[in-house]
Amino acid sequence: MEQGRTELGSTRLLGLPGLAVQRVELTADGARIVHVQTVAEAAAACPTCGFVSMSVKGNVTTRPKDIPYGPVPVRLVWRKRRWRCRRIDCPRQTFTETIGEVLAGMRTTGRLRTALGEAVAANRTVSEAAASHGVSWPTAQRAVDERAAEVLAEPVPVRLLGIDRPATARPAGSATPTPGGGRGPTRGRPGSST
């Protein structure tokens, strides 16, 4: 019973919904290697058709980067399943488990990407944020772009500026205003002086 509480406690401590901690190892430099597995039932649903698979094709191990736990890094080792989609009309034959915090093809957790975006929003450069979180500059920049898309609203297009206002149409043959405020002769009309 005590072991069950410890696993539940470490899973809660990690705080990644859909993943359960199997074990934690400490490295010589103090980093924690956290071995996790998928517990979210929705992770077995085909991303194309939504069919929940029961046919495991194999296992895949990934190592998504995550935020540190206090001053020491956390290195995730996620052993996830590759499933077969058995729905006949679905074009996808296999897929790998994903959770909301680590989407398909992502090598970072959502909370790490959020931390990178917030670091830059707090006036740190992308290079500084990348270095302090142990990721590459392109990874940090993508996180900043993602954060900006969430925070910034789509700009409202400008329809007409005052300086761009079209000239008011004058009827043909009317007098044009002169600098003194009076009306000068209209050119090109019979009987005009010019």
Q: Is residue 6 pLDDT above 50, yes or no? A: no
Stronger pLDDT, 58 or 184, i.e. the higher one: 58
Quick one: residue 38, left, alpha or beta (phi over 0 = left, psi -120 to 50 = alpha)?
beta
Q: What is the pTM of this model?
A: 0.68
Q: Is residue 96 pLDDT above 60, yes or no? A: yes
So what's the pLDDT on residue 66? Answer: 93
Give the CA distances from residue 131 to residues 10, 75, 143, in Å, rounded to whole numbers and listed in that order: 28, 16, 14
So what's the pLDDT on residue 73? Answer: 86
Q: Which letter does DSSP use for residue 24 in this model?
A: E
User: What proportion of the chain, given as a percentage, has pLDDT over 70?
Assistant: 78
Helical spans, DSSP H, in 44-176: 110-121, 126-133, 137-151
So what's the pLDDT on residue 70? Answer: 80
Stronger pLDDT, 190 or 138, i.e. the higher one: 138
So what's the pLDDT on residue 94? Answer: 93
Stronger pLDDT, 62 or 12, i.e. the higher one: 62
Is the CB of residue 125 less than 8 Å from the CB of residue 135? no
Q: What is the pLDDT of the chain when averaged over all its residues?
A: 82
Stronger pLDDT, 189 or 103, i.e. the higher one: 103
Q: Is residue 51 pLDDT above 70, yes or no? A: yes
Apex 91 CA angle, 89 and 95, nearest 5 = 120
User: What proportion of the chain, given as a percentage, has pLDDT over 90?
Assistant: 48
Q: Using CB atoms within 10 A of its CB, is residue 134 exposed (0-12), middle (13-18) or buried (19+)?
A: middle
Q: What is the pLDDT of residues 149-186, one digit of tens each?
A: 888 877 777 776 666 555 565 556 555 555 555 555 55
Q: What is the pLDDT of residues 97-112, one digit of tens each?
A: 999 888 888 899 999 9
Could you tell me the residue ranges of all domains in the chain? 2-98, 108-152
So what's the pLDDT on residue 20? Answer: 92
Is the CB of residue 128 less than 8 Å from the CB of residue 152? no
For residue 186 the two structure tokens come to 């209209």
